[in-house]
Structure 1
Amino acid sequence: MPAILMIDDDTGLCELVAEYLALDGYQFSAAHDGRQGLALAQSGDFDLILLDIMLPGIDGLTVLRTLRTEHYCPVLMLTARGDDVDRIVGLELGADDYLAKPFNPRELVARIKAILRRVELLRAPHSARGSVIERNGLLLNPHNRQLSCHGNAINLTATEFQLLECLMRRAGEVISKDELSRDVLGKRLQMYDRSLDMHISNIRKKIAPFASDEKIQTLRGSGYLFLAADQ
């Protein structure tokens, strides 16, 4: 079963989460300060990391920033309710999702399952994946989770990759934010939830150095559109 690492200095919360995850068969480990958590996360022994922002030693954003320079492991941020700035920065640094404290443990488990499904989809056998997509200067290969723009390799998180794949497969078609949130992020779009917008923004920023034009268009009140070459 997937191994989960929780980096949070609230020992009581860690114990509660451990109990809930055990019911679904997850392996669980916990670290209560940033330095210990970073060391464990760098071991590569975990399938997903639950990361609190406020940590002793090294804060959660620094932990996330360090991890994203090394290798990809899904990260679900745990933030205090109302800390919008921390959430936005975390998503900009490559967090896969966030959940505000206090949270319902069932919601946490649902978010974990949604993230792991996205990762598992990208690790599926070639026969279970879609074909290579080439649209408007971008080449997206689901077989090896590689994206390139005019021959330049671009690294994406699993969430970013699946969002872009959905948009590229339906190039020229407007896809609503609610549909993208449900189908890719595994959750209904909530008022003031910026996670989808931030993931799209990250994709744009990563593509921009190699592209002369905008690939993804925002249609206010409607959703997102990946532009076909002739649009």
Structure 2
Amino acid sequence: MLQNGETPKDLNDEKQKKNIKQRFMFNIADGGFTELHSLWQNEERAATVTKKTYEIWHRRHDYWLLAGIINHGYARWQDIQNDPRYAILNEPFKGEMNRGNFLEIKNKFLARRFKLLEQALVIEEQLRRAAYLNMSEDPSHPSMALNTRFAEVECLAESHQHLSKESMAGNKPANAVLHKVLKQLEELLSDMKADVTRLPATIARIPPVAVRLQMSERNILSRLANRAPEPTPQQVAQQQ
């Protein structure tokens, strides 16, 4: 029944909005220093293509695994699996139930997965700390010189890749330019080789990340484990 001037189109649009599933949002900003985001991308693609959102482990399962660990504690895999709130974590293993070492397979996977998540969370906190301390790379550091040379090699190779086809087709000017480009690439690679040789000794002199960030990994894990206190009504009022 239409009310307050509503049209059938309005009701239909409202119905469609309700039917649209909200996208699941969860992220760990590890800066690409772990394989987590590559895994998530591949897993989510497989889950979407096969329409097995719960049967294939991906980002959503990782979220609930962390939630289970927060509630039950580290390595309490059986308690987490038996908790109906985290039933989603059992879905990817239903095909393995007939195997004799089913529980061992499951628990090992959960432990390995949590280790990766923990590593990503530590790096996320380190990056946040580095941003807070306004830390940045030293442009004069040998590793930065190596990075610059690599960028030059990449740019030079990509911008002149057409020369090889033209040279093979008998284009003499292109052949001459190609030889010059190859000479430049050879020199850059030689410089990079020298940089790489010096790198281990240079890196050995760099203070550990924990020292530079003034925060040990134990402190980071402690910060991640302890939830920040809920803001008081007065604090909320001040922020508004």
TM-score (norm 2): 0.24
Q: Choose between structure 1 and 2: higher helix proportion.
A: 2
Between Structure 1 and Structure 2, the one with more strand by share is 1
